[in-house]
């Protein structure tokens, strides 16, 4: 299975991707996580990406496509993969198509997580992320057992700098201007399935799994 999770910031792509990757035994490839790891490690890529991420802008396509190309060379992707946060615009989608065509690899399915704006704002304003393992929590919707401590690894939870109100607004603008066009792009390829993401996480997972079974 090779699939993409599309959707606006805060739709729950990361939350769903982690559950689906485990259930379906897929490599979970989150470009946001990969970029944050590079920022934290102080690599040249992280240094170049940091400013864009802080402003809620997309990191330049060449940097992201190279990072994705390298990630797809890793062994664990042979069992199948799930992209979370990539592609993010038409140029990235075309570059992924070209990469898959060269490798004679088929993309099976694109799931668009359709979330409403009030839900997105509520989710991002309360998100807590683990600085150590990357797990996501929410102050109200999915609180950690101990305040500020990750249930999985005991790491310290923090608010992502790009979850500040002004940056969230920018990220939503960028989504509408650049990423939303991918819904039509994949609909034309007959790969798109839409799922309402405003529901409880377990219900969203079930809906996705049911759609995948039909394929
Ligand atoms: P990225 O990390 O990809 O951020 P995003 O797309 O804005 O998505 P988020 O991680 O904010 O949200 P999500 O949909 O994963 O929701 P989550 O599951 O966490 O990208 C960050 C930045 O990196 C970009 O702005 C850009 O600068 C750069 N970047 C990344 N990829 C790029 C690319 N391809 N090209 C260029 N630049 C790129 O959930 C959110 C919260 O809601 C959590 O607290 C969670 O606990 C809660 N929640 C989730 N689901 C539910 C539910 N069903 N019910 C209740 N609460 C829920």
Rounded distance between C-alpha atoms, residue 129 and residue 157, angstroms: 5
pLDDT value of position 215 = 73
pLDDT value of position 162 = 94
Give yes or no for residue 89 CB within 6 A of ligand 1.
no
Nearest CA-CA partner of 64 in 88, 42, 80 = 88
Please work out, in degrees rounded to the nearest 5, the angle formed at the alpha carbon of residue 191 by the alpha carbons of 106 and 173: 115
pLDDT value of position 214 = 83
> Distance from the CA of 43 to the center of ligand 1, in angstroms?
22
pLDDT value of position 134 = 87
Give yes or no for residue 52 CB within 6 A of ligand 1.
yes
Ligand 1, pocket-test mutation among 136, 174, 175, 206, most atoms within 8 A of CB: 136
Rounded distance between C-alpha atoms, residue 103 and residue 97, angstroms: 10
What tens-digit pLDDT sequence spans the chain (215 residues)? 999 999 999 999 999 999 999 999 999 999 999 999 999 999 999 999 999 999 999 999 999 999 999 999 999 999 999 999 999 999 999 999 999 999 999 999 999 999 999 999 999 999 999 989 989 999 999 999 999 999 999 999 999 999 999 999 999 999 999 999 999 999 999 999 999 999 999 999 999 999 999 87
Please work out, in degrees rounded to the nearest 5, the angle formed at the alpha carbon of residue 65 by the alpha carbons of 61 and 71: 150
Nearest CA-CA partner of 130 in 104, 157, 108 = 157
Active site residues: 13, 88, 127, 160, 171
Which atom number of ligand 1 is nearest to the Cα of residue 15? 18
> Distance from the CA of 1 to the center of ligand 1, in angstroms?
22
């Amino acid at each position: 299975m090779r699939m993409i999770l599309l959707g606006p910031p805060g739709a729950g792509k990361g939350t769903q991707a982690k559950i689906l990757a485990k259930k379906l035994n897929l490599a979970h490839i989150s470009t946001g996580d990969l970029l944050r790891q590079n920022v934290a490690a102080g690599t040249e890529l992280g240094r170049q990406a940091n400013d864009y991420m802080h402003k809620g802008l997309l990191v330049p396509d060449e940097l992201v496509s190279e990072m994705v190309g390298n990630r797809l060379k890793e062994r664990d992707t042979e069992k199948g993969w799930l992209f979370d946060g990539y592609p993010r615009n038409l140029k990235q989608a075309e570059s992924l198509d070209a990469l898959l065509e060269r490798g004679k690899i088929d993309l099976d399915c694109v799931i668009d997580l359709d979330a409403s704006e009030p839900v997105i704002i509520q989710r991002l304003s309360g998100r807590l992320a683990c600085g150590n393992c990357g797990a996501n929590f929410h102050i109200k919707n999915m609180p950690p057992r101990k305040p500020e401590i990750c249930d999985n690894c005991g790491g310290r939870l923090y608010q992502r700098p790009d979850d500040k109100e002004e940056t969230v607004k920018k990220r939503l603008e960028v989504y509408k201007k650049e990423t939303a066009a991918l819904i039509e792009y994949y609909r034309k390829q007959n790969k798109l399935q839409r799922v309402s993401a405003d529901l409880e996480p377990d219900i969203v997972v079930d809906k996705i799994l049911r759609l995948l079974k039909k394929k």
